[in-house]
């Protein structure tokens, strides 16, 4: 299990949160309960199984929904 | 990516749609040719709909019914009934609304951004005798970093070369620079006012004390209170319910427009955004003024807290000895001061330091045959006269006549103060009393707390009951308890918390850790130190209690602001739904206008927090 924090472009609509959250939860290998999309800081925090899922895949998912990822940190 | 291009030009599309709408209306007015206007409005609708359509599609792909989906449905509905004016205005208002929201939201986040922007970006690292500027992310623990006058310290570290004066205002709120030299600890974000130092890195970025402060503030913005969680849960249920309600109404009344209007109004935009906006603006404003809240629940608790419990030493008092009084039994006060300074200058004892601070800048005499008598004081010769400085035992040993000072000594002992006696040959010249004094203006700080609705203030201290009672009486506090061990303090707090009271505990954060953790809100007085950040729910960056009342007042304001926003957004939804059902004049565009306006109103209301008057009248 790895922890990932993604800094996104400033989120401005509340429904963005739901979109990003649901989009990420559909990915195989994500710990569903860990997904936290933060509106004010425009950050996403989550844990995932790195044997099942590549961290780039996570970033791409968010970008496909329509939000730029500025910075990622893996722990 | 097509999607990306569309998103990037969202604002341009909005502008085009606005121009088309204006043309359509002007044309309508000038030529009365309805057909051209209708076509212009149709194009405007399509242009405006494009970005919304993409957003709706990406939402639907992951099975989310977002507001974009509802707006698309509404616009398609308008197309079906050929009301292009409605569709054009609805799309434009929606885009314009989100444009304004983005601008104003960025404003509410500005205070926090200013704080995070203080993070140093690069460091001058010493490598093989050369200084190289590298990005801060590449600095490793153990690297030697060079800091010159006027520069910001980029990392936490120990000075291995040089010395200087450092301003640590960003951490402690203290504006007077502190002198630091070899093997002293320096902190990232402090500024070297004077000097040149080389430091050995002990922590970088998030691991530095400053990094932890930033991280705490950034995280705090999204820490949800119970009210916030409730509203969030409410809005996730609310949207599908409204969707079904809109569809039902549309089907039952066969009035498609009514159905889609309900859909648009049903999006609880202001409701969802209201609390976060108050929170981010309030937390940002506090951070800018050295008051850091760890989250929304803390704000709500502090606002409601009416029991404040204080540790004594270092919290209500200054925590270090200071001269209370100097009594001269000789008219030559200048000579007395010169004696004190000449003798104490040779000493390193903390009491000597406080006496020197008090005496200040006076000239000194040469002291001969200086002798330190352990546990008693010092003896030396100035101008061939024997000078003694120390306690009563020292004076007795040298047959100094003490009868004139006994009354003063007794008075000091009753107050729990320490004192030293100064004697020339067998004659007493002066007595100085020293003690840990109350913080300046503490009485006023407590009075401000009471004015903010704090009912009870307690002191819990390990000190004797007499000392505690004196402070309790002079500060008009509810009750004081002496002789308490850390576990007794914790038990006392636990009991009050169990009674359902919101308890704030203020301590030094070191031996008070259990109390800080047990209290509803723990506040360490240690300013921006690691200890304070770890143990406190509210970090006050200043080493004073003035900001305690200010923090409570600000918390109250933020809490009220949140509730205002909740009420505004609920009222808007209720009024709009009522209008849709009972007012035939109500159109989709008016609905959209009010919907977007309500979002703006809650953002603007949140922004009022940024203009809070932090200074008391």
Measured between CA atoms, how close is B254 to chain A, in angstroms? 29
**Mean pLDDT comparison of A65-69, B86-90, B522-526, highest-scoring range:** B86-90
Quote the distance between the C-alpha of residue B534 and its chain's center: 14
DSSP states along B576-603:
HHHHHHH-TT--HHHHHHHHHHHHHHHH
Contact A43 B218 (CB under 8 A): yes
User: Which residues, numbered 69 to 108 in chain B, qualify as contacts with chain A under a Cβ-Cβ cut-off of 8 Å?
Assistant: 98, 101-102, 105-106
Among B residues 242-271, those touching chain A with beta carbons less than 8 Å apart = 267, 269
Residue of B nearest to A26 (CA): B62
What mean pLDDT value characterizes chain B?
88
Residue B88 predicted with pLDDT over 90: yes
**Each residue of B175-186: pLDDT tens digit?**
788 899 999 999
Which pLDDT does position B585 carry in this prediction? 78
Contacts of B228 in chain A (CB under 8 A): none
pLDDT band at residue B617 using 50, 70 and 90 as cut-offs: very low
- pLDDT tens-digit series, residues B302-331: 999 999 999 988 889 887 788 989 999 988
Q: Average of pLDDT values for B344-372?
A: 88
B607 and B281 in contact (C-beta within 8 Å)?
Answer: yes
In angstroms, the Cα distances linking B353 to A60, B80, B325, B480, B615 are 63, 87, 15, 31, 34
Query: Does residue B143 carry a pLDDT above 50?
Result: yes
Contacts 24+ apart (CB under 8 A), B448-452: B448/B549, B448/B616, B449/B308, B449/B548, B449/B549, B449/B552, B451/B549, B452/B549, B452/B552, B452/B553, B452/B556
DSSP string covering B474-542: HTT-SEEE-S--HHHHHHHHHHHHHTT--EEEEE-SSTTHHHHHHSSEEEESS-SSHHHHHH-SEEESS
**Domain count within chain A:** 1
The answer to whether residue B278 neighbours chain A at the CB level (below 8 Å) is: no
Which residue range forms the structural domain that includes residue A17? 1-72
Residue B274 sits at the chain A interface (C-beta within 8 Å): no
What CA–CA distance (Å, rounded) separates B41 from B82? 11
Which residues of chain A have a CB within 8 Å of the CB of B219? 41
- From B126's Cα to the closest Cα of chain A, the distance in A is 27
How far apart are the C-alpha atoms of B227 and B559, rounded to whole Å? 10
For chain B, give the percent of residues with pLDDT over 90. 43
Chain B environment of A23 (Cβ under 8 Å): 62
Residue B221 has pLDDT above 80, yes or no: yes
B478/A contact by beta carbon, under 8 A:
no
Find the radius of gyration of the CA atoms of chain A. Answer: 11
A41–B219 CB contact, under 8 Å? yes
pLDDT for the residue B569? 87
Give the burial class of B261: count Cβ atoms within 10 A of its Cβ; 0-12 exposed, 13-18 middle, 19 or more buried. Answer: buried
Residue by residue, DSSP assigns B437-488 as EEPTTHHHHHHHHHHTT--EEEEE-SS-HHHHHHHHHHTT-SEEE-S--HHH
Residues of chain B with C-beta less than 8 angstroms from the C-beta of A10: 102, 105-106, 109
Q: What's the rounded mean pLDDT across residues B182-197?
A: 91
Cross-chain CB nearest to B67 (options A10, A15, A23)? A15
State pLDDT tens for residues B377-428: 899 999 999 999 999 889 999 999 999 899 998 888 777 678 899 999 999 9
Does residue B278 have a pLDDT over 70?
yes
In which band, very low, low, confident or very high, does the pLDDT at B140 lie, cut at 50, 70 and 90? Answer: very high
What is the per-residue pLDDT across B494-504, written as a single tens digit (0 to 9) for each? 999 999 999 99
Percent of chain B whose predicted confidence (pLDDT) is above 70: 97
Closest-CA residue to B282 (of B551, B593, B530, B590): B551
pLDDT of residue B552: 95
Residues 6+ apart with CB under 8 A from B277: B105, B108, B565, B602, B603, B605, B606, B607
Distance (Å, rounded) from C-alpha B117 to C-alpha B283?
16
Res B54 pLDDT > 70: yes
What's the complex ipTM? 0.83
The answer to whether residue B16 scores a pLDDT higher than 80 is yes
User: What is the CATH classification number for the domain harbouring A10?
Assistant: 3.30.70.100
Biggest alpha carbon distance in chain A? 33
Query: What pLDDT score was predicted for residue B134?
Result: 93
Closest residue to B62, CB basis, from A23, A40, A43: A23
Structure tokens at A46: 């989550």
Q: Which of B108-117, B361-370, B605-614 has the lowest mean pLDDT?
A: B108-117
Here the tokens at position B338 are 């010169």
User: For position B260, what pLDDT does the model report?
Assistant: 74
Q: How confident is the model at residue B561, as a pLDDT?
A: 96
Q: What is the pLDDT confidence band of residue B468, given thresholds at 50, 70 and 90?
A: confident
Asked if A39 and B68 come within 8 Å (Cβ–Cβ), the reply is: no
Q: Tell me the nearest-neighbour CA distance from B232 into chain A, angstroms.
A: 10
| CA proximity to B434, closest of B416, B408, B407 | B416
């Amino acid at each position: 299990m790895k922890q990932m924090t993604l800094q996104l472009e400033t989120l401005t609509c509340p429904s963005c949160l739901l979109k990003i959250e649901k989009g990420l939860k559909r990915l195989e290998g994500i710990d569903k309960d860990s997904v936290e999309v933060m509106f004010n800081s425009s950050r996403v925090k989550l844990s995932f199984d790195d044997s099942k899922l590549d961290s780039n895949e996570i970033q791409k998912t968010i970008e496909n929904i329509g939000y730029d990822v500025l910075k990622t940190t893996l722990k | 990516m097509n999607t990306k291009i569309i998103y990037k030009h969202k604002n341009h599309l909005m502008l085009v749609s606005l121009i088309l709408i204006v043309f359509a209306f002007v044309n309508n007015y000038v030529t009365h040719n309805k057909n051209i206007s209708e076509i212009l409005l149709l194009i405007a609708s399509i242009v405006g709909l494009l970005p919304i359509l993409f957003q709706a599609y990406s939402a639907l792909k992951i099975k989310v019914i977002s507001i974009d989906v509802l707006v698309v449905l509404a616009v398609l509905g308008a197309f079906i009934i050929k009301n292009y004016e409605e569709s054009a205005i609805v799309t434009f208002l929606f885009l314009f609304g989100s444009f304004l929201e983005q601008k104003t939201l960025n404003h509410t986040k500005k205070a926090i951004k200013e704080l995070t922007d203080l993070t140093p970006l690069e460091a001058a690292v010493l490598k093989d005798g050369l200084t190289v500027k590298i990005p801060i992310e590449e600095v490793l623990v153990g690297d030697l970093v060079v800091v010159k006058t006027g520069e910001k310290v980029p990392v936490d570290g120990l000075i291995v070369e040089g010395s200087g004066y450092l301003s640590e205002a960003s951490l402690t709120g203290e504006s007077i620079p502190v002198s630091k030299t070899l093997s002293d600890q320096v902190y990232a974000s402090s500024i070297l006012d004077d000097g040149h130092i080389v430091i050995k890195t002990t922590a970088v970025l998030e691991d530095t004390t400053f990094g932890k402060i930033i991280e705490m503030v950034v995280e705090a913005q999204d820490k949800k209170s119970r009210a916030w969680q409730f509203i969030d849960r409410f809005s996730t249920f609310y949207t599908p319910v409204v969707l079904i309600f809109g569809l039902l109404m549309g089907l039952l009344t066969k009035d498609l427009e009514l159905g889609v209007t309900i859909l648009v109004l049903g999006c609880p935009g202001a409701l969802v955004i209201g609390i976060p906006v108050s929170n981010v603006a309030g937390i940002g404003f506090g951070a800018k003024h050295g008051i850091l809240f760890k989250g929304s629940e803390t704000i709500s608790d502090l606002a409601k807290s009416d029991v404040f419990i204080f540790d004594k030493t270092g919290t209500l008092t200054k925590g270090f000895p200071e001269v209370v009084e100097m009594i001269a039994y000789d008219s030559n006060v200048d000579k007395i001061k010169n004696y004190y300074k000449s003798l104490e200058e040779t000493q390193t004892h903390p009491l000597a330091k406080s006496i020197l601070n008090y005496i200040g800048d006076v000239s000194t005499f040469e002291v001969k045959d200086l002798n330190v008598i352990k546990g008693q004081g010092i003896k030396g010769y100035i101008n061939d006269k024997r000078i003694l400085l120390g306690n009563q035992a020292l004076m007795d040993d040298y047959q100094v006549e003490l009868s004139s000072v006994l009354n003063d000594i007794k008075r000091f002992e009753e107050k729990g103060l320490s004192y030293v006696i100064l004697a020339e040959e067998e004659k007493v010249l002066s007595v100085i009393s020293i003690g840990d004094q109350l913080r300046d203006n503490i009485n006023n700080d407590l009075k401000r707390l009471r004015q903010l609705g704090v009912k009870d203030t307690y002191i819990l201290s390990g000190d004797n009951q007499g000392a505690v009672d004196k402070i309790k009486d002079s500060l008009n506090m509810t009750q004081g308890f002496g002789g308490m061990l850390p576990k007794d303090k914790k038990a006392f707090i636990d009991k009050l918390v169990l009674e359902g009271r919101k308890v704030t505990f203020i301590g030094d954060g070191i031996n008070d850790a259990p109390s800080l953790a047990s209290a509803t809100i723990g506040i360490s007085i240690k300013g921006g130190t690691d200890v304070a950040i770890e143990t406190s729910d509210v970090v006050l960056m200043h080493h004073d209690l003035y900001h305690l009342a200010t923090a409570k007042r600000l918390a109250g304001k933020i809490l009220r602001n949140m509730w205002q926003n909740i009420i505004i957004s609920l009222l808007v939804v209720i009024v709009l739904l009522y209008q849709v059902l009972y007012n035939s004049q109500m159109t989709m565009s008016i609905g959209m206008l009010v919907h977007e306006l309500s979002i703006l109103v809650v953002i603007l209301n949140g922004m009022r927090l940024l203009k809070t008057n932090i200074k008391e009248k």
